[in-house]
Amino acid sequence: MRHAPIDSSLFVRNRKRLCELLSPRSLAVLNANDLLPVNADATLQMLPNSDLFYLSGIEQEETILLLAPDAFNPLQREILFIREPNALLKTWEGHKLSKEEAAKISGIKTVKWLSEFPAVFHQAMCEMEHVYLNSNEHGRAGVVVETRDARFVDECRRRFPLHDYRRLARLMHRLRVVKSSEEIDLMKKAVAITKTAFQRVCRFVQPGVNEVEIEAEFAHEFIRKRACFAYSPIIASGANSCILHYNANDQLCRKGDLLLLDVGASYANYSSDLTRTIPVGGRFSKRQRAVYNSVLRVMRAGIKGAVAGKLAKEWQAEAQSVMTEELIKLGLLKPKAVRNQDPEKPEFRRFFMHGLGHPLGLDVHDLGYLSDPFAPGWVMTVEPGIYLPEEGFGIRLENNVLITKNGPVDLTADIPVEADEIEELVSMSRRAVRSARPRHASE
């Protein structure tokens, strides 16, 4: 693993919280993600299964976690199964976890080789009545490839058709949405790395650079800090900034353009999610600044409104009301049109067509039921935007907010966002670059 070791007490506590939610005489099984094949004999780099990592800290392929808190034998109540290292694996793939290493990372005392899983699982199934199996139940997921978990579900139902099968995802959603202090610290680390990368980019950006070069600056800073991209980066200049999920990142940045940067680092699998919009030439135009400040006021209102006990739909409606007022001030909406609007097609949607935010954590669109009221420990993004393709630019701003019993805490508060701060950061960096250039003798 690239990141610093995480104290196993985090994973011990996470397993305890899950086991308290399981019905009596139950077991739960979680699988690692597949190594996904692509072309020829190539595979993609494995992305750890977030639920498995949450409960064990293990990031190695083919790992299986078995939990059976009511097992008669105490040593059978939590078992980790990992690949058995051998000389061939070491030659071709490098180091694999030993039992001792896996136990230290996870805090699980019983670690076995994968070859032992069938017999141990059969014994556990004979003893237990209820079986919790996992699946990807994210509301926005497009599940078109059969997963390791899906294959395991089919195998279990074939071999043990008379057990009571239950959905583990329902429990994981409720657990993972509430972040512990250790998780918050890891997310703060991801935010700090994102901040330094954003500052690096501001020093680099000038008319004539390509979006892909800017992506490379982010990558350099992330990798050297033992992080990676939390999601595909959006580096969108000019009219590209009106494309919500733009990721071609291959166009020139021109003077007068705005550059929308939706980029966040992932550290130890925990995500940050930042959006800033900066002027390529160092200064906003009068119109750009007016729109920018409107978006900023909506974001500030969204941050202030992210309080425990509030429903996401109420939070969203409050921000939409503020956005409507801002769009009227900008001359983009007419009060009469707003008064007569179709409630199913509100006028603001012409310029702000996405949601205000989403849970953030091990996944950038993290688990959590937005039908539940906000609670202390949730981390939400706040990301309003105004998109004006006819004027050739869009502006989105995004911060990450921890909900506490004493009100919202902005985890990204020290990353510049005021228009004056952004201009000063870009211009100051540009002045520093110019002053560092060697002078000719004639100058």
The helix-helix angle for 419-436 and 181-204 (nearest 10°) equals 50
Give DSSP secondary structure letters for 48-104: PPHHHHHHH----TT-EEEE-TT-SSGGGSEEEEEPPP-HHHHHHH-----HHHHHH
Let me know whether 310 and 342 are in one domain. Answer: yes
Give yes or no for a contact between 386 and 395, defined as CB atoms under 8 angstroms apart: yes
Residue 440 in this model has a pLDDT that exceeds 70: no
Q: What is the mean pLDDT of residues 238-243?
A: 98
Q: What is the pLDDT, as a whole number, of residue 436? A: 45
Let me know whether 258 and 353 are in one domain. Answer: yes
DSSP β-bridge partners for residue 277? 260
Let me know whether 416 and 353 are in one domain. Answer: yes
Per-residue pLDDT reduced to its tens digit, 335-348: 999 999 999 999 99
In percent, the amount of the chain with pLDDT more than 90 equals: 92
Q: Is 108 exposed, middle or buried (0-12, 13-18, 19+ CB in 10 A)?
A: buried
The answer to whether residue 438 is domain-embedded is: no
CATH number at residue 305: 3.90.230.10
Per-residue pLDDT reduced to its tens digit, 187-239: 999 999 999 999 999 999 999 999 999 999 999 999 999 999 999 999 999 99
Scan for tokens 């009511």, then name that residue: 70
Residue 174 in this model has a pLDDT that exceeds 80: yes
Show the domain range for 411.
181-433
CATH number at residue 51: 3.40.350.10
Per-residue pLDDT reduced to its tens digit, 14-50: 999 999 999 999 999 999 999 988 899 888 888 999 9
Q: Which of 151, 176, 201 is the endpoint of a domain?
A: 176
Let me know whether 392 and 406 are in one domain. Answer: yes
DSSP 114: G
- Let me know how many helices (H) and strands (E) the chain has, helices first: 13, 17
The answer to whether residue 443 is domain-embedded is: no
Give yes or no for a contact between 412 and 274, defined as CB atoms under 8 angstroms apart: yes
Per-residue pLDDT reduced to its tens digit, 272-309: 999 999 999 999 999 999 999 999 999 999 999 999 99
The answer to whether residue 373 is domain-embedded is: yes
Let me know whether 75 and 211 are in one domain. Answer: no
Q: Which of 176, 208, 229 is the endpoint of a domain?
A: 176
pTM of the model: 0.94
Per-residue pLDDT reduced to its tens digit, 76-130: 999 999 999 999 999 999 999 999 999 999 999 999 999 999 999 999 999 999 9
Give yes or no for a contact between 165 and 131, defined as CB atoms under 8 angstroms apart: yes
Q: What is the pLDDT, as a whole number, of residue 433? A: 53
At CA 119, angle to CA 48 and CA 12, rounded to 5? 40
Q: What is the mean pLDDT of residues 316-343?
A: 97
Q: What is the mean pLDDT of residues 62-74?
A: 97
Q: What is the mean pLDDT of residues 324-329?
A: 98
Q: pLDDT tier at 432 (50, 70, 90 boundaries)?
A: low
Q: What is the pLDDT, as a whole number, of residue 78? A: 98
Q: What is the mean pLDDT of residues 258-268?
A: 98
> Domain count of the chain?
2
Task: Name the nearest CA neighbour of 294 among 256, 242, 351, 355.
Answer: 351
Give the H/E segment covering residue 191: helix 181-204
Q: Which of 176, 205, 228 is the endpoint of a domain?
A: 176
Helix (H, G, I), strand (E, B) or coil at 405: coil
Mean pLDDT of the chain: 95
Let me know whether 327 and 248 are in one domain. Answer: yes
